[in-house]
Amino acid sequence: MEKMKLFLSTLMSAISTCTLYSKEHASVDELTQKAFSLLGEMLQQSDSVELMIVGDDLIANKTPLRDVGMQGVNLVKRFKKKGLSRVDFIKGITFSELRLFVTNISAVSEDIRTYAHIKTGVVDVRTGGLKIDADFALDLESLSGFTSGQVGMVKDVYQGITPFKKLNIAGLEEIVVHFIITFRREANILKLISPVKSFSEYTYTHATNVAVLSMFQAEVLGVREDILRDIGIAALLHDVGKLFISKEVLEKKDALNQKEWDEIRMHPIYGAQYLAKLEGIPHLASIVAIEHHRRFDGKGYPKSALNNKTQHLCSQTVAIADFFDALRSRRPYRRALEIKEVLSLMKRETGGAFNPVLVDNFIRAMHSALSE
């Protein structure tokens, strides 16, 4: 990833030099040459280098990049200004193609050209065209609304989780694809939220609901299909660390003492540690696990995971879904809250616990669902 970051910052330096001076300036050639050789090294390991912009985040080869530095931030801004949400550099790219791309990006008024080895794209909002792995063998007609069967699928995957057993990753992907198909068919998202039937079902129902609500927000924001799936998987697993906490504490009906709270507050760390070790799980899942109790204002827990970095956009999305589902569910120690009550509590946390843009997006989407 260090090479990727260096490539991105060099590319941005070339672009800004081109904007500030002229496209003929000698250092544009020099910087582009440096970026080109870094790109060449990366393209020896794979057939393409894929960049994607989601919100203000840069995702390189499906991994969200943190700490991209000033030049990285500027590159995201520049791509957005150009309407680009995706740039793929394909093996076989020549220096002159990259050089042309640099000139093209640096000229504010110029449209994006087409290149043989650079594929560019805008966010494909609700393409409707789902790529479903043939192995999933979905019976599309039988899907209408969420059934206890779907919570059951989540339960099966969750019950397979122990520190010694492999997680059923294909199972998770299947669940997430089911969700996407279902919520694209059902305009009223609230019909898809499952009520908690029994105490022991809470974990699975909550995981299901948080995944649906997180993906729903991302869909409204126009996030790409593959990232939508990653968010779904990350949301399904956000509380996975709770499975490593003693049942007595987790299911205690009376108020928790300090020691018990401290134990509960370890679940983001346990979850992230567990997920980071698993192969095939999107990196985003560990990020969301560790960050979902962080707040937009930088507070929250676990204290050891709080740092100067901003909370990932996906963790912010999951945090909103988590809050909504937790409050609207009946728990042993309190009643379920009305949707409107939850939304007004959420509004109060705008800019505190939650990202104002996401709260706005969520409330607007909920209101249109409520008025259906």
Nearer to Fe ion, 174 or 239 (CB): 239
Minimum CB separation from Fe ion for residue 297, in Å? 18
31: amino acid identity, one letter: L
Contact positions toward Fe ion, by CB under 5 A?
Answer: 239, 322
Nearer to Fe ion, 28 or 213 (CB): 213
In the structure encoding, which two tokens stand for residue 369, read together?
Answer: 């669902």
The residues, any chain, with a CB within 8 Å of residue 142's CB and separated by 6 or more, are none
Minimum CB separation from Fe ion for residue 275, in Å? 13
Nearer to Fe ion, 99 or 267 (CB): 267
Minimum CB separation from Fe ion for residue 271, in Å? 8
Minimum CB separation from Fe ion for residue 210, in Å? 6
Nearer to Fe ion, 174 or 322 (CB): 322
Classify residue 168 by burial, with Cβ atoms within 10 Å: 0-12, 13-18, 19+.
Answer: middle
Minimum CB separation from Fe ion for residue 317, in Å? 13
Instruction: Give the chain's length.
Output: 372
Minimum CB separation from Fe ion for residue 234, in Å? 12
The residues, any chain, with a CB within 8 Å of residue 358's CB and separated by 6 or more, are 217, 313, 316, 317, 320
Per DSSP, the residues of 78-105 read HHHHTT-SEEEEETT--HHHHHHHHHHH
DSSP secondary-structure letter at 147? Answer: -
* Cα 264-353-200 angle, rounded to 5 deg: 35
Minimum CB separation from Fe ion for residue 341, in Å? 19
Pick from 184, 178, 187: nearest CA to 146: 178
Nearer to Fe ion, 201 or 239 (CB): 239
Nearer to Fe ion, 118 or 236 (CB): 236
Rg of the chain (C-alpha set): 22
Nearer to Fe ion, 126 or 331 (CB): 331
Nearer to Fe ion, 97 or 239 (CB): 239
The residues, any chain, with a CB within 8 Å of residue 58's CB and separated by 6 or more, are 8, 51, 52, 64, 65, 68, 72, 75, 76
Minimum CB separation from Fe ion for residue 290, in Å? 11
Tokens 């969200």: give the residue.
64
- For residues 10 and 34, the answer to whether their CB atoms sit within 8 Å is yes
